[in-house]
Structure 1
Amino acid sequence: MAGISGIGGSGLDIQGIVEKMVAAERAPKQDQLTKTQSKATAQLTAIGSLKGAISEFQTALTTLNSPTSFQARAVTLSKSDYLTATASTSASVGSYQIEVSRLASSSKVALASVPATSATTASDGTASSSPTTFGKGTLSIKIGDTKLSDIQVDATNNTLSGIRDAINKAGQSQGLSANIVNDNSGARLVLSSTKTGDGNNISVSVSGDDGSGNQSLTKLAYNPSDSESSDPAAAHSLTKAQSAQMTIDGLKITSASNTVSGAVDGLSFTLKATTPADSPMTVGVSQDESGVKGNIQKFVDSYNKLMGVIKTQTSVTTVGDNSAPITAALVGDATARGLTTTIRSELSTMQGTGAVKALADLGITTQKDGTLAIDDTKLSKMVSSNFSDLPGFFTGDQGLAARLKGKLDPYTMANGILEQRSTSLSSTLKSVDAQTATLNTRMTALSDRLYKQYNTMDQLYSSLSSTASSLSQQLAAMPFANKS
């Protein structure tokens, strides 16, 4: 940058002078832009907070406006060690005596054991060992009446590990898996099924064994209907597939799995263990009063949060006698004021024909600061004694939840009040950015012009100083200059 320190001899701090002049020219407009940007940013943030609080309140209202919220059922268990239970809205209120005599299980089979390795002799007479191999053929595996894809055994997979991998690939979609276990009798394949229920036992049949291996492929056959051999090396069942058995109020129920649905309309049981003989457990089904109370509590909490956000964004805080108060972003804002008035007006409207016509009937009252408070004792009593009146107060087109939502929708809907405010504030911020860029361009031009003017002045001063010095020297050389 030219002319920073008076290079022509004037000694002026040209840079300092220019910077101060530019700063003085920039200050009024820059202050205006900074204040506008700060205010718009604060209001945009406040509108965002307001949107979030309204959204949370609307979620609570949606839950309260759902009839199923008041049709939910609560399940109680006298003992939790034997089963879990869930109830849908169609379950009737009542209690049931339940005994679990048998759990459902799946089939698990240990096939006949074979040596893990077999000795071989090379052509040069050297002895070695290699994995046991089976003859070529076909394995057919069934789980009950369900047949898996046939497994072809050939030179590529005629070992225990090869057959295991082939079974796992073929049985993956049917819940059948294979593993190799080395026990006292040797190595054997253990097949496991995930399919429970009577008759769903694993069976293995073999066909086409060509005798090419050092073990016959037929050793892997297993028929669950055959009598079990006393030979520990023979194939045998580890667990048999069976169905669960239980009684509900003395009525016998059989289920292929440990999840029992449909035995009682609206109830589903997951069996965990058998109950002691002649010691039934009790399953109770009742109206979900605690769930309804929880939804009401969420309604009150989200309303209080919304009121808290509005109060925070519209408050004026005094910081001292000699200091100006701190004003929040939405002080005097018509949007926040109108929202508060609308919501509070709906809260005070009477609704319904039963025992519950207003929030006060449920023990919910408005405090001095505008928030809601719950008298839990009164709420519990009203929910227990007048449960059937609650849906009429909260749900339906004329229910409290729908009416409040209708008042909130103009604020939160697409192109609604809050979106329009946000769009306007965003436009203001873009305008500030554009004006700031223009101001910067103008100040750069001013700076360049001032530097050019001061550099020209500095050069002129230098020229005049040089002329004056020359004149002084010439005058000093005149004859009369040496006279007294």
Structure 2
Amino acid sequence: MANNINFLGSYSGIDSATIDSMIQAESGKVVQYTNKQTSITAEKNAWKDINTRLDSLFTKLGTLGEDKTFQSKLVTSSDATKVAITAGTDSIASNYSIEVNRLATSTQVTSGKISLADGKTIKESLGLIGKFTVTSQAISGTPEEKETPAGNFEIDITAKDSLKDIVGKINEKSKESGIQAKIVDNRIIMTDSNMGERNMSFSGTGTLVKDLGFEAIPEQNYKVGQSAELTIDGIAITRNTNNVTDAVEGLTIELKGVTEASKPVMIEIKEDTDTSVKAFESFVEQYNSTLTFISDQLDVGNPSAKNNKTGALAGDSSLIRLQSSLRSLMTQSANTGNMSYNNLESIGISVDRYGKATLDKEKLKVGIADDPAAVKKILFQTTSTETTGVGENGESTTVITEKKIGLAQKIQELVNTYISDKTGIIKTKSATYDKLSEDLTKSITKFNERLEKKRANYVTMFSRLDTAMMQAESQMAYLQSQFSTEK
């Protein structure tokens, strides 16, 4: 075949370049297939980008429904070195006067100095054997606290145990007992992690209590813990902790230092509207970004222009429906029980005729400060309806149906019909695009195979033509030579 190709066109003038031109003229279908495949890829990528934007919009709508968005509080303390406050979403905006008369402390017991043999360290065995028991119990507090030993545990000591080993065994039980131990100058210091007035006692087999330095403990080595004492707005409170969580609903009061007489720490709790505004800002920005991208994909450009460019999804009915539905939902009303706040515009979110949203921060702040519950109801609320019927055995039945009617919930439901992993429109479209692209790839492959066969046929046919013309020329030359000889 190589010789035929090299010989091709020597007599007919039809060479490989001519055949390439003929094949090129017949390959228009491949160009159409390729262009269609490029278009499908662009559409699929556009929907993928829309899916990402819608997913982000869904998430930001969810943030608007969190308690912290509408109930977050700002806390200020006139002296955070004495009293620090953490306010939960269920706290009430108010002012408090707090005096700290005493901080809570833990009971701490220090043993006598434990004698070690000459040259021995705390890492070498003491040669002690037996069971050592530590008990910690409340002196003050509720009857239950007094009756129940919080720390009551026993450790086994073997002859090979060193002072460090014994302390390690005590600390292994710290999680359950609350008792922590350490070594200072060959002494064991026991500290109860439970604060308040508590007793700590020791017992053991044989002479273990004496050997470990806990017999006849000097008064200065036995420091009983104490409860915290404070007043909140003149009300005296006692707690066995410096983190008071049950005095004022929604507030954690951390006591850090004793206040001076008649110099209380002033606490102010107020609504944190900035957190709310930021959540709404983020939603509005994502909504506008999504709508702008959708508009770009649907853009038909200027049909009368010579090289008009259109969006990848121009004319797509599913996207047009999404664009229209989003715009419509942004202007709907909701029954909140307060006519002053029943749609997005009433809380500062206005939408122009192109669907673009604008946020008036000050108007939003006023709405949240005035009636945060109504503002939240614009976005999130659920209604229930009861339907009565008759069961299989004739008994009456009641079916309760809940329906989400908040604007944010409706937008989320709309968005979910597009981005759902199982039944979403975008997932279905993506699968369709993949199938179309796969079919086009097969068509292109088959068409190219036909073109290659046709090319081979052209080469064979025109090679034969060149051979026939060469033979004819040779015969003509022979006949001419014969005529010349006869003369």
Q: 1:109 and 1:31 mapped to 2: Cα distance? A: 90
Q: Distance in 2 between the 1:165 and 1:250 partners?
A: 46
Contact 2:44-2:433 at 8 Å conserved across structures: no
SS across alignment from 2:252: strand
**Structure 2: 5+ residue stretches without partners:** 138-148, 384-402
Determine the C-alpha separation between the residues in 2 that align with 1:119 and 1:75. Answer: 58
1:80-479 pair list within 5 angstroms: 80-88=80-88, 90-114=90-114, 118-119=118-119, 131=124, 133-144=126-137, 145-155=149-159, 157-181=160-184, 183=185, 187-199=186-198, 201=200, 203-209=201-207, 218-222=210-214, 226-228=217-219, 236=221, 240-315=224-299, 324-352=307-335, 353-367=338-352, 370-385=355-370, 389-391=374-376, 393-397=378-382, 402-403=406-407, 405-406=409-410, 409-413=413-417, 419-444=424-449, 446-447=451-452, 450-451=455-456, 454=459
CA 1:14 to 1:324, structure 2 compared with 1: closer, same or farther past 3 Å? same
The equivalent of 1:212 in structure 2 is none
Q: Secondary structure at the match of 2:104?
A: coil
CA drift of 1:154 comes to 1.6
2:42 aligned partner = 42
- Give how far 1:164 is off: 2.9
1:45 and 1:245, CA in 2 relative to 1: closer, same or farther beyond 3 A?
farther
**Conserved in 2, the CA contact under 8 Å of 1:176 and 1:191?**
yes
Identity %: 22
1:220 CA displacement: 1.3
TM-score, length of structure 2 as denominator length: 0.73
Give, in whole Å, the separation in 2 of the partners of 1:221 and 1:434.
Answer: 88
Moved more, 88-97 or 13-22: 13-22
Partner residue, 1:123: none
Deviation at 1:199, TM superposition (A): 0.7
- What is the aligned-residue RMSD (CA, Å)? 4.5
CA distance in 2 between counterparts of 1:350 and 1:163 reads 71
1:183-228 Cα offsets, whole Å, 9 max, x none, are 4xxx344444433332165x4433234xxxxxx77331426x9433
Q: How many residues align?
A: 451
CA separation of 1:173/1:434 partners in 2, compared to 1, >3 Å: closer, same or farther?
A: farther
For residue 98 of structure 1, give the secondary structure of its aligned residue in structure 2.
Answer: strand
Q: Is the 8 A contact 1:355 1:386 kept in 2?
A: no
Describe the shift of the 1:41–1:83 C-alpha distance in structure 2 as closer, same or farther (beyond 3 A): farther
CA distance in structure 2 between the aligned counterparts of 1:283 and 1:379, rounded to whole angstroms: 26
Structure 1 portions without partners, runs of 5+: 121-127, 210-215, 230-235
Cα distance change of structure 1 residues 331 and 80 upon mapping to structure 2, 3 Å threshold: farther
Residue 261 of structure 2: SS of its match in structure 1?
coil
Q: Which moved more, 1:58-67 or 1:302-311?
A: 58-67
Question: Is the CA contact (8 Å cut-off) linking 1:116 and 1:131 kept in structure 2?
Answer: no
Provide closer, same or farther for how the CA distance between residues 99 and 313 of structure 1 changes in structure 2, counting only shifts above 3 A: farther
| 1:351-372 C-alpha deviation (Å, 9 max, x unpaired) | 5543234444334333575322
Q: Give, as a single letter, the amino acid of the residue that structure 2 aligns with 1:102.
A: R
Partner Cα distance (2:265, 2:163) in 1: 48
TM-score w.r.t. the length of structure 1 is 0.74
The alpha carbon displacement at 1:258 in A equals 2.2
Secondary structure of the 1:131 match is coil
**2:100–2:259 contact (8 Å) kept in structure 1:** yes
Report the secondary structure of 2:445's partner residue: helix
What is the alpha-carbon distance in structure 1 between the residues aligned to residue 198 and residue 128 of structure 2?
30
